[in-house]
Structure 1
Amino acid sequence: MAKKPKTPNLHDELNFARFGVISMHSRVDQSVTTWNTEFTVNARTFRIEAITPQGRPHGIDTDTLVSLETLFVVKGCPDDNWVHTTAYEVRELMGLANNGENYHRLRQSIRRLYFTSVIVGRKSSLAGTQRVRWDNVGVRFFEGLRYRDSEDDGELSALESEATLSIRLGEQLADSIRAGSSQVLDGQLLHRLEQPPARALYRTLQAHRRQDDGQMLRELQVPLTEWRQATGLTTDRSDLVRRALGAAHEELLANHYLERAVIEGRGKAAVAHYTFADVDAADPTLVRLLRNAGVTVARATALAGQHPERVEEALRFLEHRRAMQGGVRNPGGLVADFLEHPAKYDLPADFVTPERQREERTNRLGQQKVAAEQAAQARTEAQLDQLGAASPEVQWAAQRSTLQVLLKKHLNAGQWGQLEHLARSGEIGAVALTRELLEATARSGLPEQIGRLKRRLNPLLPAE
């Protein structure tokens, strides 16, 4: 994922995360529209029967569902279960790049989830008998859907980014979130994980490691045959299951969510073993930096875990002391003492902390950006002033490329042709239109301005 998360935490209903309906595969055989499975993880047994007319949910569908669940929570869990948002807001929360391909992918993802119907059975044994009881319930991810999409010169249908996107969560899903049966996912970790399978596996692991009392297991062991179904892997070939899990394991290990991930044994006897990393564990990079400064292994590990935000400052203080005194007899001891007893050290006037450096650099870059934007705006205004008295044909020729950039996502081919006709005839001034769109962009009013333009191009559109 390319973007930073807009929220540090994302909300996800706990039971749906355990059902394994959304496959961690990036691609699935879309011709398979019905399937059923049964698996046991952490002493919980589930039986899943699914109908998926648009193909089994997979890939970014995990991100789509979690983002919409999060918006449901952010908006106060509305009683009618509707989430009113925009494709732009959902895509931003998912961390996807802002382009037409991703609005197409989001459209397909929402439709897959909407069309999916599932009957879930929870297994229990009757005390004192050999009988097994199944409690079954039919569930839906979404029960209502309203959206606007568009096609441009034969391109794939994509959601319009600023149009209202309304999705009604399934009754069981919404009620469960409202009742508090949900988990909080680390948004920063999710957005560091680059591949959908790793994000899907993280969500599934978090759901299954959680005990009924809220405690989180430090280790989780699952037979591979069961884990394949719990993660939605559609192949029963052990080598392909291992390969699919292996790539996700590497990402989760690299991002310090997992401390250990191994698959032991062969065939039906294979077992997946997971050891989860301590959330308060020290960053290995910081430990290495402290070790290089002369701090002992045990002390470096402890200090990096306790004071991660001050390690860089301590190392810069060490370099400053070396420069002032020509050397330091016990550099490791000085760094450790600086971190443990900051009040002992009066920083010299010419010592600039890393935080102050970053702040000054951010301010400087911000000022440069503002100056550049102001200069560009001034040049644009001067050019528009010069063009204002030109003929409609000249105005259109000069502003056509700028208007394309501003309007490409919002006008279809017919609307663009109508705009060109009106601009060339002088009924719409290309220069005046450019000014209006730029001003609307600056005050975050572009959607309203484009709505007025569309109604001018087609008076039959309803007024808003």
Structure 2
Amino acid sequence: MARTRKSAVRPRQPGEIERFDEANSARLGLICVQERIPADYTRWDLELMVEGRVARLTCISPGEYGGVPHGLDGDFATALNMIYLEQGAPDSGEVVITAYQLLQKAGFTDSGQYYQALQDSLDRLKGATYTASESWRDKRHERWTTVKFNIIEQIDADTQDGTAYGHGTLLKIRLARPVVQSLREQYLKPLDMTFVLSLSRSLTRSLYRMLDARRYDPVNLAEPAEVLRISLQQWARECKLLETVPARIKRNLESAHAELIERGYLRSVSYEGTRAATVIVYEFGDLPASLPAPEPSLQVIPDAPVVDALRRHGVVVPVARKLVTQFGENHVTVRLEQFEAILAGGYQPQRPSAFLVDVIKDQSGKYASGQTVLPPAPKPARPAAKPKRLPQPDLAMEAEADQINDQLTREFRALPLTEQAARAVTQVRMFVGRELRDSHLKSLLAAMLAGDVDPLTVRDEVTRAACNLQLPEFAEALRAAYSDG
């Protein structure tokens, strides 16, 4: 099975990494690094030291899902965390994405084998129950807590044809509450996702994520260690390996070590001590260690209730936010009620989410009485009746929407400059974050805080660019204005 990757990618130094992952999940290594496991491997227990105290981590998974989460499951779990952050870290904990997009994010090709692998992985991530006793870091209160959770709390899959995932399957996935809280509180560690996607095997990718998390102090995530020493037996347990014989542990990890050394992430892997007390020593090659890890610059802003309402009807989060920004909450709410009234009248659109977006965007009144009738619905349940005449819309609706938008603008202006700038940067990141480096966004933020650039203008311009399909040009202008040089 082919995997999209760039074999020439070298690891970036920690201070240059612009992507992040949830630090608790990464440090605890919730996913077994082995690519294949026996079907009866349905439980593991781990004891670990947390600030001088013994803590415990347990995983119990139903046998029908193929054992505990392992192998590619780690790729999909990481991708979901990344996507959740990209979609603005909503308090609902929901990620809305197609199966195809999720495969692309995780670095896999559009093939039936990978769609089946994705479906199996999501089932395992939902079925496995974890208990972290006094080992889950609560960043807000700076303490260790006990949590019990499933990495995925709920999966809603619109599979259209049958039950198997395919290219157009729309997924609504709700992540575990403890993971969501950690992400929203920015308990994050840097993760070089480009390097992860370039690694050839799931074993190597899993071991890389484990090593990269283990080298950070869980209380102070500022600087990664240059050398990591750990008991070989303890390391095997933390990787959730079934092997306990030192020679076999070494052999299982040998290929992953070789690739990480070849790619420059590790400088060397060596062993110290006796056979009964072997210590594995990792020396990292992606430093200077004096370069600190970047501070997360994510801005988490609660969504308006109408955004959640649009999401429940299948509108993906970025589109929902764009609609509310463009038309205002009042306009979108009125059109949402109009949409629901049309459905209550018996109309069944082929794609409800697309129809809802069209109702919101409509400026011609085509859904009003006396104007263009609704498009034909597929396969009506009963003989088609004469098209229903829809009620006349409120003639003052557009003017009211303008008034609401003016009010929202005044409220934005009343915010402190720092909050205006943060919201503008969040808007830019949402639409063109992938096209910009973190340095561009930091320079833009500094310019707004210095009074050289108006945050409201930035917010409106990126929204206008999105509506006019000119986001690439907008991103290019920002890169030119705030380049490193």
TM-score (norm 2): 0.52
Choose from 137, 146, 149 the match for 2:147.
Answer: 137
Matched AA of 2:96? H
CA separation of 1:234 and 1:42: change in aligned 2, threshold 3 A: farther
In structure 2, what is the Cα distance between the partners aligned to 1:20 and 1:41? 15
Secondary structure, counterpart of 1:66 in structure 2: helix
Secondary structure, counterpart of 1:159 in structure 2: coil
In structure 1, what is the Cα distance between the partners aligned to 2:245 and 2:224? 31
Q: CA deviation at 1:202?
A: 0.9
Q: Tell me if structure 2 keeps the 8 A contact 1:9–1:187.
A: no
In the other structure, the counterpart of 2:319 is: none
Q: Tell me if structure 2 keeps the 8 A contact 1:101–1:158.
A: no
Choose from 88, 92, 103 the match for 2:104.
Answer: 92
Matched AA of 2:266? L
Q: Tell me if structure 1 keeps the 8 A contact 2:95–2:174.
A: yes
In the other structure, the counterpart of 1:80 is: 92
In the other structure, the counterpart of 2:266 is: 258
Secondary structure, counterpart of 2:37 in structure 1: coil
Render the CA deviation track for 1:47-103: whole Å, top value 9, x for unaligned.
112211121111111110110000000000011110011111110011111100000
Render the CA deviation track for 1:116-149: whole Å, top value 9, x for unaligned.
111112369xxxxxxxx99532122111111144
Q: Tell me if structure 1 keeps the 8 A contact 2:47–2:56.
A: yes
Q: CA deviation at 1:24?
A: 0.4
Choose from 281, 286, 303 the match for 1:278.
Answer: 286
Q: CA deviation at 1:35?
A: 2.8
1:28 matched to 2:37? The reply is yes
Choose from 180, 185, 199 the match for 1:179.
Answer: 185
Matched AA of 1:147? A
CA separation of 1:262 and 1:11: change in aligned 2, threshold 3 A: same
Q: CA deviation at 1:20?
A: 2.6
Q: Tell me if structure 2 keeps the 8 A contact 1:41–1:222.
A: no
- Consecutive unaligned residues of structure 1, counting only runs of 5 or more, are 125-132, 282-454
1:196 matched to 2:202? The reply is yes
Q: Tell me if structure 2 keeps the 8 A contact 1:24–1:201.
A: yes
In structure 1, what is the Cα distance between the partners aligned to 2:381 and 2:168? 21
Choose from 117, 125, 129 the match for 2:129.
Answer: 117
* Aligned residues with identical type, % of pairs: 29
Matched AA of 2:4? K
Q: CA deviation at 1:10?
A: 4.5
In structure 1, what is the Cα distance between the partners aligned to 2:102 and 2:181? 21
In structure 1, what is the Cα distance between the partners aligned to 2:51 and 2:78? 23
Secondary structure, counterpart of 2:244 in structure 1: coil
Q: CA deviation at 1:278?
A: 3.4
In structure 2, what is the Cα distance between the partners aligned to 1:42 and 1:274? 22
1:3 matched to 2:13? The reply is no
Render the CA deviation track for 1:373-394: whole Å, top value 9, x for unaligned.
xxxxxxxxxxxxxxxxxxxxxx
1:38 matched to 2:47? The reply is yes
In structure 2, what is the Cα distance between the partners aligned to 1:103 and 1:195? 18
Q: Tell me if structure 2 keeps the 8 A contact 1:147–1:164.
A: yes
In structure 1, what is the Cα distance between the partners aligned to 2:101 and 2:208? 23
* Number of residue pairs aligned between Structure 1 and Structure 2: 274
In the other structure, the counterpart of 2:389 is: none
CA separation of 1:141 and 1:123: change in aligned 2, threshold 3 A: closer
Q: Tell me if structure 2 keeps the 8 A contact 1:10–1:66.
A: no
In structure 1, what is the Cα distance between the partners aligned to 2:77 and 2:225? 25
Secondary structure, counterpart of 2:186 in structure 1: coil
Q: How does 1:200-219 map to 2 (within 5 A)?
A: 200-211=206-217, 212-213=219-220, 214-219=222-227
CA separation of 1:82 and 1:123: change in aligned 2, threshold 3 A: closer
In structure 1, what is the Cα distance between the partners aligned to 2:169 and 2:285? 42
In structure 1, what is the Cα distance between the partners aligned to 2:152 and 2:164? 19
1:268 matched to 2:243? The reply is no
In structure 1, what is the Cα distance between the partners aligned to 2:160 and 2:245? 41
Q: How does 1:312-331 map to 2 (within 5 A)?
A: none
In the other structure, the counterpart of 2:174 is: 168
Q: CA deviation at 1:43?
A: 6.3
In structure 2, what is the Cα distance between the partners aligned to 1:45 and 1:77? 32
Which has a greater percent of helix? 1
CA separation of 1:79 and 1:93: change in aligned 2, threshold 3 A: same
Higher-Rg member (1/2): 1
Choose from 26, 37, 47 the match for 1:17.
Answer: 26
CA separation of 1:239 and 1:148: change in aligned 2, threshold 3 A: farther
Q: CA deviation at 1:12?
A: 1.7
CA separation of 1:104 and 1:192: change in aligned 2, threshold 3 A: same
1:239 matched to 2:247? The reply is yes
In structure 2, what is the Cα distance between the partners aligned to 1:22 and 1:170? 15
In structure 1, what is the Cα distance between the partners aligned to 2:266 and 2:79? 23
Q: Tell me if structure 2 keeps the 8 A contact 1:261–1:275.
A: yes
Q: CA deviation at 1:267?
A: 3.2
Q: CA deviation at 1:280?
A: 6.2
- Consecutive unaligned residues of structure 2, counting only runs of 5 or more, are 7-16, 137-142, 290-376, 383-485
In structure 2, what is the Cα distance between the partners aligned to 1:49 and 1:86? 31
In structure 2, what is the Cα distance between the partners aligned to 1:238 and 1:28? 19
In the other structure, the counterpart of 1:50 is: 59
TM-score (norm 1): 0.54
Q: Tell me if structure 2 keeps the 8 A contact 1:40–1:226.
A: no
CA separation of 1:82 and 1:44: change in aligned 2, threshold 3 A: farther
Q: Tell me if structure 2 keeps the 8 A contact 1:13–1:177.
A: yes
In the other structure, the counterpart of 1:309 is: none
In the other structure, the counterpart of 1:159 is: 165
Q: Tell me if structure 2 keeps the 8 A contact 1:46–1:123.
A: yes
Q: Tell me if structure 2 keeps the 8 A contact 1:9–1:188.
A: no
Q: Tell me if structure 2 keeps the 8 A contact 1:41–1:208.
A: no
Q: Tell me if structure 1 keeps the 8 A contact 2:226–2:287.
A: no
Q: Tell me if structure 2 keeps the 8 A contact 1:224–1:268.
A: no
Render the CA deviation track for 1:351-401: whole Å, top value 9, x for unaligned.
xxxxxxxxxxxxxxxxxxxxxxxxxxxxxxxxxxxxxxxxxxxxxxxxxxx
Secondary structure, counterpart of 2:21 in structure 1: strand
CA separation of 1:218 and 1:269: change in aligned 2, threshold 3 A: same
Matched AA of 1:228? A
Q: CA deviation at 1:30?
A: 2.0
In structure 2, what is the Cα distance between the partners aligned to 1:43 and 1:106? 39
